[in-house]
């Protein structure tokens, strides 16, 4: 079987000096030796060097989609596009992106929401939301993405909406995700999401610690946030 490196891999050295390879297809990290890390850099220039891998390493890399056969990445992209189009135009799933608040605890200089009022979703809007969901009687499942601002600043609103959907609406939440800066993963919030699991969590980092802490400062104190986010991600 002739293999090649996937288009969906990224090699890098972590802040702890570890040599890593990441595959976005499988969302998997593998820790490499320095020699293997450097060898993969050579494979990017000459794919025939893959033949020097032993069978166990090839098997591991194939399993994690680091190595793929010709056209496999292209077929994967077409399959994902088909799946997304099927979901987008399906009446079976009602997809909602909900913004419980426009407030944020960070002061990022590039924020596109700069100058917007940090308002929370009102009870009136929640009522309209529930009415909107009930009108979609043909829908069999809900897909909810929490967005902001920083949505976890309005955790009480997230909890209220989820509780009311589960108690008052006959459409279950099938897909549950959040886009967050990762700062507010407290025990209380973790306990809630253990009962209402998230399928995906998107947390943004702006590079390594030095760069991140320069850009993603806390709004009140001006302090960086890198160490807190990394600890929260490990805990979660």
Residue pLDDT, tens place only, 150-171: 999 999 999 999 999 999 998 9
Residue 141: pLDDT band by 50, 70, 90 thresholds? Answer: very high
How far apart CA 104 and CA 114 sit, in angstroms, is: 10
Q: What mean pLDDT is predicted for residues 51-77?
A: 95
Give pairs for 38-46: CB < 8 Å, separation 24+. Answer: 40/5, 40/11, 41/11, 43/5, 44/5
- Residue range 189-193: mean pLDDT, rounded: 93
Does the structure show a pLDDT above 80 at 45? yes
Confidence of residue 183 (pLDDT cuts 50, 70, 90): very high
Mean pLDDT, residues 90-107 taken together: 91
| The pLDDT of residue 113 is above 70 | no
> Are 125 and 119 contacting, i.e. CB atoms less than 8 angstroms apart?
no
Which pLDDT value is given to residue 12?
A: 93
Which residue bears the tokens 């590039």?
Answer: 110
Report pLDDT for 65.
96
In the three-class reduction of DSSP (H, G, I as helix; E, B as strand; rest coil), residue 75 is classed as helix
Among 32-36, 55-59, 179-183, 203-207, the minimum mean pLDDT is found in: 203-207
- Residue 126's pLDDT is 97
Between 109 and 225, the more confident residue is: 225
Q: Which domains does the chain have, with CATH numbers?
A: 4-75 (no CATH), 90-235 (3.20.20.70)
Q: Tell me, what's the pLDDT at 51? A: 92
Sign of CA dihedral 41, 47, 53, 55: positive
Lowest average pLDDT, out of 15-24, 84-93, 157-166, goes to: 84-93
Q: Above 80 in pLDDT, residue 137?
A: yes
**Residue 208 predicted with pLDDT over 90:** no
Are 106 and 217 contacting, i.e. CB atoms less than 8 angstroms apart? yes
- Is the preceding omega at residue 23 within 30 degrees of 0, hence cis? no
184 and 155 in contact (C-beta within 8 Å)?
yes
Tell me: pLDDT of 36 over 70: yes
The pLDDT assigned to 115 comes to 62
Confidence band for 90, pLDDT divided at 50, 70 and 90: confident
Angle made by CA atoms 165, 128, 182, in degrees to the nearest 5:
60
User: Has residue 28 got a pLDDT over 70?
Assistant: yes
Range ranked top by mean pLDDT from 114-128, 155-169, 220-234: 155-169
């Amino acid at each position: 079987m002739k293999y090649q490196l996937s288009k969906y891999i990224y090699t890098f050295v972590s802040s702890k000096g570890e040599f890593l390879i990441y595959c976005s297809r499988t969302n998997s990290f593998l820790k490499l030796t320095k020699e293997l890390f450097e060898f993969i850099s050579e494979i990017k220039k000459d794919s025939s060097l893959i033949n020097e891998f032993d069978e166990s390493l090839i098997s591991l890399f194939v399993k994690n989609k680091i190595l793929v056969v010709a056209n496999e990445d292209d077929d994967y992209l077409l399959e994902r596009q088909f799946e997304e189009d099927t979901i987008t135009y399906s009446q079976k799933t009602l997809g909602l992106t909900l913004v419980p608040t426009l407030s944020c605890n960070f002061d990022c200089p590039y924020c596109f929401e700069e100058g917007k009022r940090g308002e929370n979703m009102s009870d009136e809007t929640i009522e309209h939301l529930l009415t909107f969901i009930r009108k979609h009687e043909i829908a069999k499942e809900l897909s909810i993405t929490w967005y902001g601002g920083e949505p976890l600043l309005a955790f009480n609103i997230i909890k209220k909406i989820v509780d009311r959907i589960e108690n008052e609406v006959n459409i279950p939440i099938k897909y549950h995700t959040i886009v967050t800066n990762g700062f507010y993963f407290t025990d209380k919030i973790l306990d809630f999401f253990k009962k209402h699991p998230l399928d995906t969590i998107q947390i943004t980092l702006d590079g390594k610690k030095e760069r991140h802490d320069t850009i993603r400062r806390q709004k009140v104190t001006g302090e960086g946030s890198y160490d807190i986010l990394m600890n929260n991600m490990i805990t979660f």
